[in-house]
Amino acid sequence: MYRLLMRAFPEWYEYNTVYALYPFTIPKESEKIYKGLGVASSYSFNPPKKPQDPIFFSTAANAKAILGNQKTFKVIWGEAISRLTGGVDYMLSADKPANSAQHAAVYKALYNDVEGGMEEVWDFYVKYTEKFLRERSYQLDNFFQIDAVRESLPPNCPN
């Protein structure tokens, strides 16, 4: 039921809501039980709500104003990245001044400090992508297939 609800109503439910995790229970009763077990902080007891309709901006001036205003306009993936990394954020994962400083430092290192730095990054990815595709693909009829989800690293892959 969890997957069905999450897919049928995207963005209506929080990832840890009892309304989707345990849809055939009474949320208030679940909250009492989880508080007694000491695990209530792991769950959200907020009912589902309709997501906010997107607002579209179509001019370069609006885009520049939005991207330059980190206090009002937050990255939409910040909370999800924080959950995945245990609260660690870096560069593009949040809107704090430290994240902007990290982004500026990486940009400077790639574009200014090393002559041809971005070309080297590009060449690295092209070289290893082509190499991995040659090593890991197999022919099936007239097509070449590759398992793009494989978790193991290819041999001789730089870490």
In-domain check, residue 76: yes
Q: How far apart are the first and last CA of the chain?
A: 39
- Number of independent structural domains in the chain: 1
Please check whether residue 34 is in contact with residue 40, taking contact to mean a CB–CB distance below 8 angstroms: yes
Q: What is the pLDDT of residues 14-71, one digit of tens each?
A: 888 999 988 888 989 989 999 999 998 889 898 999 988 888 888 999 888 888 887 8
In-domain check, residue 150: no
In-domain check, residue 134: no
Distances (CA, A) of 33 to 21, 39, 103: 15, 9, 45
143 bridge partner residues: 140
In-domain check, residue 127: no
Residues in CB range of 44: below 8 A, 6 or more apart? 14, 16, 17, 18
Beta-carbon count within 10 A of 52 CB: 7
Q: What is the pLDDT of residues 92-123, one digit of tens each?
A: 788 888 888 888 898 888 888 888 888 888 99
Please check whether residue 27 is in contact with residue 48, taking contact to mean a CB–CB distance below 8 angstroms: no
Is residue 153 pLDDT above 60, yes or no? no
In-domain check, residue 43: yes
In-domain check, residue 123: no
- Distance, in Å, from the CA atom of 89 to the CA atom of 98, rounded to the nearest integer, reads 10
Q: What percent of the chain has pLDDT over 70?
A: 94
In-domain check, residue 77: yes
What are the tokens at 23? Answer: 């849809």
User: Residue 73's domain spans which residues?
Assistant: 2-89
In-domain check, residue 40: yes
